[in-house]
Amino acid sequence: MGTKGSSSLWRRKQVHHTRHGDIELAKHLRIADLVSIGIGSTVGAGVYVLVGTVARERAGPALTISFLIAGIAAALAALCYAELSSRCPSAGSAYHYAYTCVGEGVAWIIGWGLILEYTVGGSTVARGIAPNLGVFVGGEENLPWLLIRRTIPSTEIIVDPCAAFLVIIVTALLCVGIRESARVQAAMVVLNVLVLLFVAGAGSYAGSKNGWKGYEQPDGYMPYGINGVLGGAATLFFAYIGFDTVASTAEEVKNPQRDLPLGIALALFICGGLYILVSGVIVGLVPYNLMDPDTPMSTAFAENGMPWATYVVAAGAVAALATTLMGSLLPQPRILMAMARDGLLPPFFSTVHPKTSVPVNGTILAGAVAAIMAFMMNVDELSGMVSVGTLLAFTIVSVCLLVLRYIPPPDTSKPVFPSRTSEGLPVVPKSPSRPIFTSQYPIFSPVLTILSEASLHSLPGRSTYGDYASSASSIGSPLQDETEELEEETRVFEIPPSYSREDLQNPLLMLEQPTNLSGCCDGGWGLWASHCSLPHQPSSALSNKTMVNISSDNPEVSTAHGCQHFQLQAFS
């Protein structure tokens, strides 16, 4: 019993594993939708605060270098997500990858870790909406009575109705449909990006007037040294988290192999550019040791004679909070649905609404839990656990990529072909998605693919046999020597000019000259097939003009002058 239970912890599911009766999510998302989801989930209100905190305590004016280093590290993790999500386009994100590549036990831990991360992160973001809305009305105390924070008598619990109300609105929007919620998020992302561009543009104008006094410091560009820059990069790394939300929507993307890598890459590139641009401007307006750690942007503009910019920054912060909250609530029901499909949770969570194509049960439950936590719990102490869960998920995703490349799980959705024929000849399967042999192992990366051998089949003036031989020999494949031996041992018939390649229903068929014409045979049709329909005649009487008509059910060989014995080598 113990051995059986231990083996189940490392049980892996197939790449394209589905259960009978599962309803797939509707495919509505394109590259633009993925980019908006990625930017909205990444550029949160944290950037409006982290700029001042990291510059004041760690990096100083070298804040842009810290953002650059953190962006490079995030890009490596994003590439892992991009390749895994395009090769395994199913809901569940890191949970799905862990179950496919590592095992059920690790996937269980990763799944609940992600749910905790998104729930706590969403609750934390929601509790920051009230202070930013208070900027427009002169303070939190001037908000409507129903939205003001209160302390429960005889307790230390501070309830936040505004946070709970925001979570309920976002949950209702997610229940309407992924296409509608993506459009709303795109509008909020545009507002957020415009605010950040305003900060960069107006800050550059103010900096040019005051001479960029923030960079004229007696202790230099790196007051805390290289260790301070690297420490700041470690903190700023979490400002890039959000591309994993894009991976969680893989099942709803119309063309995941193309759109997911591009969407993740473009979103991360735009976020990194905005971070570096804004941080470079802000640290130049105010000396780093005089920055306000809570409201660095508003304070910087106020000290340069632009107090009205506080309202613009507050509007951007509200938009960033809304998009980040949506990015936190979006993946949770999809992870719950994936776990329910695999039998690790009740089928209640795998229910998909027939009209909206949304896992509505999981969405409502996740939103209710997040609303309760945002309403009456101070989740600041749990925020550190979010960082631990994120790093654990990124580590597992990196491991899964190596496993999927070199120790891939079984995939029953693709036919399995023998590697060699009974005569010992290599068999090359005809498959559009067959990887290019770049080393001893077939490695296929949707992110870095340059050329697919499937396109070589349609090149004019190339024989079928030559396509595989040239593609293998040009890259030093292990098939090169085997192909050369095959050319030496096999004499290939030349097809007469009057018969074009289109005359063959299957272009991957090679006619071999017979070595034994001692009788008539009616061999079976398989990888190698022989067929003879007429009485045997001497080889001198054989005609050079032969038409081959081949179908999967009844291969036929007809000739104008008697019988001709063919061996058909089929690569299919």
What does the pLDDT profile of the chain (572 residues) look like in tens digits?
Answer: 455 555 667 777 765 555 545 677 888 899 999 999 999 999 987 788 888 889 998 999 999 999 999 999 999 999 999 999 988 888 888 999 999 888 898 999 999 989 988 988 888 889 888 888 988 988 888 888 888 888 888 887 889 999 999 999 999 999 999 999 999 999 999 999 999 999 999 999 999 988 898 898 888 899 999 999 999 999 899 889 888 899 999 999 999 999 999 999 999 999 999 999 999 999 999 999 888 887 889 888 988 888 899 899 999 999 999 999 999 999 999 999 999 998 889 999 988 988 888 999 999 999 999 999 999 887 666 666 677 778 889 999 999 999 888 877 665 444 444 455 555 565 555 444 433 333 344 444 444 443 333 333 434 443 333 333 333 333 343 434 444 444 444 444 444 444 443 343 433 333 444 444 444 444 333 333 333 444 444 444 333 333 444 443 444 443 333 444 434 333 33
Least Cα distance to 46 among 371, 247, 324 occurs for 324
Q: Rg (Cα) of the chain, in Å, rounded?
A: 31
Phi, psi of 543 (to 5 degrees): -90, 145
CATH class of 31-408+439-453: mainly alpha
pTM above 0.85, yes or no: no
Alpha-carbon span 80 to 334, nearest angstrom: 20
For residue 489, what are the CA distances in angstroms to 54, 467, 512, 513?
70, 18, 11, 11
Where are the domains positioned within the chain? 31-408+439-453
Q: Which helix (H) or strand (E) holds 392?
A: helix 383-406
Which tokens is 451 given?
């050329």
Per DSSP, what are the bridge partners of residue 549? 556
